[in-house]
Chains A and B, each alone.
Chain A
Amino acid sequence: KNQVEQSPQSLIILEGKNCTLQCNYTVSPFSNLRWYKQDTGRGPVSLTIMTFSENTKSNGRYTATLDADTKQSSLHITASQLSDSASYICVVSRGGTSYGKLTFGQGTILTVHP
């Protein structure tokens, strides 16, 4: 069964600290993995998209890693800011040209306190 598991479900950190969110998947075949950030009351915004051959991809203070062998990805947030408080969703694509082949994780809710 194609599944995407994210951990932790929720996380509270202090402003300025770093944190790492995890994503494990059993989706096959694998095409790419995306991380989205979703602020409360808004639609998700893409942070990174990684294909099989990419190990690391950065977007500002966000760095995603991918280990296609172990089927694990992580999203590392450096020097967190209050605006990083959001839900972070991991999405894995089975390929092809259809969005029906996307499998979504349940998300990690990150809260950054001052």
Chain B
Amino acid sequence: KAGVTQTPRYLIKTRGQQVTLSCSPISGHRSVSWYQQTPGQGLQFLFEYFSETQRNKGNFPGRFSGRQFSNSRSEMNVSTLELGDSALYLCASSLAGLDEQFFGPGTRLTVL
């Protein structure tokens, strides 16, 4: 069974640009969560999608948005990038709820 995949793995953008990250969950998993990980803040919850609906959202500005498609694949978008958005963005999938999550390898975003 293939694991969670994220694309791209690495990304370099400049301030003010926007970026879209993609996550493909494990086959059969309907819940996809997104996290931001930085050395200073650790792992922080961005949002969770289940059956194409955002089920919960963390404390991030509206520049961070996401969506989920009918095949459970999910995308995350960050608009008007800031230097502080440089981070590892992790996606995790699970079958339905707060059962075991499986993380992808992450997308390393660098904002110059």
Question: Which residues on A are within 8 Å of B, measured CB to CB?
Answer: 31-32, 41-46, 49, 89, 91, 93, 95-102, 104-107
What residues of B have a CB within 8 angstroms of the CB of A98 in the complex? 48, 55-56, 98
Name the residue on B nearest A44 (C-beta).
B103
Is B33 a contact partner of A99 (Cβ separation < 8 A)? yes
Which single member of A32, A95, A99, A100 contacts B101 (CB below 8 Å)?
A99
Contacts of A45 in B (CB 8 A): 103
A89 CA / B43 CA spacing, docked (Å): 9
Choose from B42, B45, B48 the contact partner of A106 (Cβ within 8 Å).
B42
Interface residues of B (CB under 8 A from A): 4, 31, 33, 42-45, 48, 55-58, 90, 92, 97-98, 100-106
Q: Is the CB of A105 within 8 A of B42?
A: yes
Query: How many angstroms between the C-alpha atoms of A105 and B45 in the bound complex?
Result: 12
CB distance from B30 to the nearest CB of A (A): 12
Best-surrounded residue of A44, A89, A107 (most CB of chain B within 10 A): A44
With A104-B42, A105-B42 as contacts: A43 and B105 at CB distance below 8 Å: yes
Q: Are A93 and B105 touching (Cβ within 8 A)?
A: no
Chain B residues contacting A43 (CB-CB under 8 Å) are 4, 90, 92, 103-106
Once bound together, how far apart are the Cα atoms of A99 and B105, in whole Å?
Answer: 19
- Pick the contact of B98 from A31, A44, A89 — CB < 8 Å? A31
Option from B58, B98, B100 in Cβ contact (under 8 Å) with A46: B100
> A42-B105, A107-B42 given as contacts; is B98 within 8 A of A99 (CB)?
yes
A48 to B: closest C-beta gap in Å: 11
Of the candidates B42, B43, B105, the one whose C-beta lies within 8 Å of that of A41 is B105
